[in-house]
Amino acid sequence: MAGLPFVDTHVHFHDLGHPRLRYAWLEPDAPPDPVTGPDGAIRARRYWADDFVAETRFHDVTKVVHVQAALGTADPVEETRWLQAFADRLGVPHGIVAYADLTRPDTARTLARHAAFANLRGIRDLRYDDYLTDEAWLRGYALLERHGLVCCDDPALERFPQARRLAERVPGVTLCIDHAGYPRHRDAAYFRRWRAAMRDIAGARNVVVKISGLGQADHRWTVESLRPWVLECVEAFGTDRAFFGTNWPVDRLYSSYGDVVGAYAEIIADFTEAERRALFAGNAERIFRLGGREEGTA
């Protein structure tokens, strides 16, 4: 599988010393996530695009999408500004999924301010309330179509039917299910529930799946333990609406970068070359409007 170009659709950069950005989840007194577990190993003072490029330079990473990492920042556009500066200097990240509170009355203005930066490609409003039935949030979500933005979302498994109705209500917005639906348990009964939910939501053609972050609930994962989750995502969504990400550097808690990318490659080794290239790069390039491959960019 050597030489297969890879578009990493889920990475996080941070700088705890930045004067205008806050990362509440990485602060020393932040409690560990109940799924991720102890995460002191990633609470370094900073992890810049430069660090990611250095760490991944032998893995044929040709494009990178950064997903919101700043949490608790007064003005979410500051993170986009910071990331665009990396992109202008290094070429990374190629796409930015920024944060916006879609319930706010000034959402349209916030999205326009984000969109002033060339690499903006999506929005994430990570929350665990009743947002999928909140009319204010739904109005904000519909505004994403104006800028051609993908919504990267992490709905709870029991809310997948609401997420499908959202996608069907706003067909002009692509809804990306992050982290393979974020399966929080790995027993057979949960797998059956998760598989049924994934197959149902895949029935909305404007929903796509990002296969990433699978180590968060499988800290001692192996290729075989990941295989059914990866293959079921592809079975449900097809080889044209699924793609990969690493959740780096969070998933460094459980593996090396090459381990993750190598596991994906091994799991889809029996697919056709066209299918493998679509899953590793082509689908993400199309969905996030990243353009074709550019040699030596990351």
Average pLDDT score over residue span 113-129: 97
Q: CB-based burial of residue 185 (10 Å sphere; 0-12 exposed, 13-18 middle, 19+ buried)?
A: middle
pLDDT in tens, 138-147: 999 999 999 9
Give the tens place of pLDDT for each residue, 245-279: 999 999 999 999 999 999 999 999 999 999 999 99
Burial class (CB in 10 A: 0-12, 13-18, 19+), 268: buried
Residue 39: the pLDDT is 75
- Out of 42-51, 150-159, 202-211, 286-295, least confident range: 286-295
> Residue 226: is its pLDDT beyond 90?
yes
Work out the mean pLDDT of the chain and round it to a whole number: 95
pLDDT at position 296: 33
Helical (H) or strand (E) element with 121: strand 120-124
Residue-level pLDDT at 292: 52
Show me where the domains of the chain are located.
6-287
Domain spanning 6-287: which CATH class is it, in words? alpha beta
